[in-house]
């Protein structure tokens, strides 16, 4: 942008100096035409002679040449002014375009930053989910281990209860036998 502005300013200064040069040439040609017209008027008042007629023709051709120079310079000035207007329009268009592109770039940068943040968050969530999954699996394995231990203990207690029931039954039978023996005696 700075480079384009520098080029625009350089073109502006060149165009301004050209306009000044051409305006100076027009001023010089206009001054020359004025002085030649005065000479022509002065010579026209003098008695007509071959030398005066030659000088008048020379003055007339000089006036004609300067008039053509003025016309050409005015055309050049018009073209340079048109170029200056075109340059200004191009510069304004470029600045506007750059501002729009910069605004889009800012929006795009924000979008990219948002996407990067979202991706980072998703990765963190994935890590958390993986950690939770691993914890859940470990917990489940521990629960299964404790369950199998509890089943063994339950089996042991069941066996013990069965033995105690058998012992109770045997003891009750012995008590009955003893009662029967006592009542028989």
CA distance 47 to 185: 199
Answer whether 0.95 is exceeded by the pTM.
no
- How many structural domains is the chain composed of? 1
pLDDT at position 168: 95
DSSP state letter for 48: P
> Does 46 or 61 have the greater pLDDT score?
61
Structure tokens at 17: 């100096």
Residue 67 has pLDDT above 80, yes or no: yes
Higher pLDDT, 51 or 71: 71
Domain range for 129 is 2-175+177-184
Q: Which residues contact 12 (CB under 8 A, 6 or more apart)?
A: 84, 87
Q: Give 137-155 pLDDT, tens digit per residue.
A: 999 999 999 999 999 999 9
What's the CA gap between 154 and 157, in Å, rounded?
5
What average pLDDT does this structure show over 172-176?
Answer: 93
> Which tens digits make up the pLDDT trace of 11-59?
888 888 888 888 898 898 899 889 888 888 877 776 677 777 788 888 8
Distance of CA 91 to CAs 16, 47, 82, 100, 174, Å?
Answer: 16, 62, 14, 14, 121
Q: What DSSP character marks residue 185?
A: -
- Position 53 scores a pLDDT of 79
Q: What is the pLDDT of residue 10?
A: 82
pLDDT of residue 66: 87
Structure tokens given for 143: 């629960």
Cα–Cα distance measured from residue 80 to residue 76, given in angstroms and rounded to the nearest whole number: 6
């Amino acid at each position: 942008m700075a480079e384009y502005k520098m080029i625009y300013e350089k073109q502006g200064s060149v165009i301004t100096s050209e306009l000044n040069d051409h305006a100076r040439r027009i001023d010089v040609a206009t001054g020359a035409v004025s002085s030649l017209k005065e000479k022509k008027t002065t010579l026209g008042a003098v008695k007509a002679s071959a030398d005066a007629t030659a000088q008048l023709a020379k003055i007339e051709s000089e006036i004609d040449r300067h008039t053509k120079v003025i016309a050409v310079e005015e055309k050049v000035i018009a073209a340079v002014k048109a170029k200056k207007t075109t340059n200004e329009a191009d510069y304004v268009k470029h600045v506007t375009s750059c501002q729009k592109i910069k605004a889009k770039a800012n929006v795009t940068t924000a979008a990219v930053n948002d996407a990067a943040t979202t991706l980072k968050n998703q990765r963190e969530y994935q890590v958390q989910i993986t950690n939770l999954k691993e914890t859940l699996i470990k917990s489940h394995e521990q629960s299964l281990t404790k369950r199998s231990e509890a089943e063994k203990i339950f089996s042991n207690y069941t066996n013990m209860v069965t033995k105690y029931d058998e012992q109770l039954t045997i003891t009750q039978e012995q008590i009955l036998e003893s009662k029967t023996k006592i009542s028989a005696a």
